[in-house]
Amino acid sequence: MKIYTKTGDKGTTALFGGTRVPKHHIRIDSYGTVDELNAHIGLIKDQGIDKHYKDLLSHIQDRLFTVGATLATDPKKAVLKSGKDRLNIPKISDENIERLEKEMDQMNDSLPPMTNFILPGGHQTVSFCHIARCVCRRAERLAAALNDLEPVEANTLMYLNRLSDYLFVLARKLSSELQADEVKWIPEKY
């Protein structure tokens, strides 16, 4: 399989289903940002963190490929004439969303309550979590904007929302485990 096809040399690309759109189309920006998020999650996973987190991050990466494939599919061509789903992959499920919620609840149970906003940083691994969280929020905003133009599956939007929350709680949990300072934002007085 060749990596280059030359079909995008004029600034367009094909969605699943064959529809061609400009490479700057919001749908392309949406799944491109999900791909960027997936790379950042790989970076977190490559850190010296507990196997439980690595395993969950691998699962999240798998789910993000599903999110990306869903966003890369022309909704008008998502279902084949036979009635079968074009992608033929498991969709983002309620269980996927609930798994993130359960993980957050378990981590939060062992953390001190938040009394202030927290400044990103304190440890490189924690900073990677915050970067991924920000990219996830951007992916969510783009998917929501796309949803205003063309339908996006509701669970896709919910998953991105929950995932950004999960990455924030993971940053807090890793700060605790790595004994990093969690810097509270206290506005400076001028």
**Mind listing the pLDDT tens digit for each residue in 103-116?**
999 999 999 888 88
pLDDT of 177 strictly over 90: yes
The pLDDT, as a whole number, for residue 185 is: 87
Phi, psi angle pair for 16, to nearest 5°: -60, 125
Q: What's this model's pTM, rounded to 2 decimal places?
A: 0.91
CATH architecture of 12-177: Up-down Bundle (1.20)
Q: Which tokens hold the place of 156?
A: 């896709």
Tell me what the mean pLDDT of segment 138-162 comes to: 97
Question: For the segment 2-53, what is each residue's pLDDT rounded down to a tens digit?
Answer: 777 776 777 877 777 778 887 888 999 999 999 999 999 999 999 999 999 9
Phi and psi, residue 4, nearest 5°: -95, 140
- The kind and range of the H/E element at 20 are strand 20-22
Place of tokens 């969950």: 56
User: What percentage of the chain has pLDDT greater than the value 70?
Assistant: 96
- Distance, in Å, from the CA atom of 111 to the CA atom of 109, rounded to the nearest integer, reads 6
Cβ distance 41 to 64 under 8 Å? yes
Q: Which residue has the tokens 């991050």?
A: 57
Per-residue tokens: 128: 């990677």
pLDDT at position 48: 94
Residue 97 clears pLDDT 90, i.e. is over it: yes
Residue reference for tokens 């783009």: 142
Retrieve residue 137's tokens.
């929020």
Return the DSSP state at 184. Answer: B
Q: Where are the domains of the chain?
A: 12-177
pLDDT in tens, 69-96: 999 988 876 666 777 777 778 899 999 9
**CB neighbours of residue 182 within 10 Å:** 18
For 13, list phi and psi in degrees, rounded to 5: -145, 160
Structure tokens at 65: 């490929």
| pLDDT value of position 132 | 98
The reported pLDDT for the residue numbered 79 is: 66
Helix ranges (H only) for 50-110 are 51-71, 94-109
Asked whether 126 and 180 are in contact (CB, 8 A), the reply is yes
The answer to whether 14 and 74 have CB atoms below 8 angstroms apart is: no
